[in-house]
Amino acid sequence: MGACYNEDQPRFSYAASMEDPRSSKLVHDNVHGNIYLDQLSLKFIDTEQFQRLRDLKQLGVTHLVYPGAVHSRFEHSLGVYWLACEAIHRIKNCQGLELDIKPFDIQTVKLAGLLHDVGHGPFSHLFERDFLPRVVNGSKWSHEEMSLKMIDHIVDVHNIDIKPDILKTVKEMIIASPENAPSKSSKEKRFLYDIVANGRNGIDVDKFDYILRDSRACGLGCNFQFQRLLENMRVIDDEICYRAKERLTIHHLFTSRADLHRQVYMHAKVKAIELMLVDALTKANDHLQIASSIHDPAAYWKLDDTIIKTIEINPDPALKESRDLILRIRRRDLYQFCNEFAVPKNQLEHFKNVTPQDIICSQKTGVTLKEEDVAVCNVKIDLTRGRNNPVEWYVGRVG
């Protein structure tokens, strides 16, 4: 989590980071309040490819269990844009001269926040995690890589006047892995690459937004206060760091994320609906060629959550099985949850993923379940550092 600094270091005051209203457009977000969008960002937002995000629910089918979870990738993207803007401006206000933060740096960070999900597939992560591996052999497709292609596509189609070095840097910032950031020897500002998608320790404004937004939408409490981290972030040795007293706030970031996985993302009914939807999409794929557009941004941007309605109202006999599954979802005739087993920590290293075949082999005499009757979800929920407490080494580095 990088170095930390102590209370005996000087305190700082903060200047407001609001965009100049004369050169921006105001929208009101139900999480962050007023968001000011600059002119270059609006050129991307006011395209059919970006507006598509309005038709992608942030949490996929979760709204069928938590009725309030109807927020979209569009809202989330604006939220991450604003938090990225807040973060880089706060750093600039405190350390701008020291770090030589230029308008180029501010613009690239904001655009990375805005465009990081522009290549996302339908139904949250279900599309790339569950559906594509079934219909595309050896699929390693990712929405991050598609976001990079989609950005180039938007620029080309809409003739957006953007400097090549800005475009290149924005795309590098979207991929959350240390190897994509400049090396220390290149004397680049590597900390900038950790604001939107932090591959070094997972503390980034993308999480700040979706943890709070998802918690509110699902009616859950959230004790993570991202404002404290925004107010206290500093750059030390080219890494974003926080006051030692904020270790509990950082711990809340990861525990809140884990709680969302337990209570929302992996909810038994949510998983049942997801499994049914994946089956419906898989059965419809040969007829509708749903997966055929995943490498072509010009076709891919037309794919969104409305594919479920396309299947539902299409009378073609080839889609009957898919329509029947969607009808079952509508009528709450869901796949039945059977049981779950939590693997003890001390057995994780020796535990293999359970398969439907394992379940069938262990059924009692007289039970006639077949492998196709069983679906198994092997889920790992941790605090992003495996079995380790993500703040243990953070505490150890407090001087």
DSSP-assigned letter for residue 384: S
Q: How far apart are CA 332 and CA 272, in angstroms?
A: 10
- The burial of 266, by beta-carbon neighbours within 10 Å (0-12 exposed, 13-18 middle, 19 or more buried), is given as middle
Exactly one of 143, 153, 251, 267 is catalytic; name it.
Answer: 143
Tokens of 109: 């960070």
* 24-29 vs 33-38, strand pairing mode: antiparallel
DSSP string of 112-138? HHHHTTTT--STTTHIIIIIHHHHSTT
Residue 152, C-beta contacts closer than 8 angstroms, at least 6 positions apart: 167, 297
Contact 37, 239 (CB under 8 A): no
Q: How far apart are CA 374 and CA 305, in angstroms?
A: 26
CA atoms within 13 A on the CB side of 295: 5
Q: By 3-state DSSP, what share of the chain in percent is helix, strand and coil, each rounded to 5?
A: 55, 5, 40
- In the chain, the DSSP E strands lie at 4-5, 24-29, 33-38, 234-236, 239-243
Contact 207, 254 (CB under 8 A): no
Tokens of 89: 């401006």
Tokens of 179: 């190897």
Catalytic, 89? Answer no
Contact 127, 135 (CB under 8 A): no
CA-wise closest residue to 309 among 284, 273, 334: 284
Q: 33: helix, coil or strand?
A: strand
Q: Which positions are catalytic?
A: 143
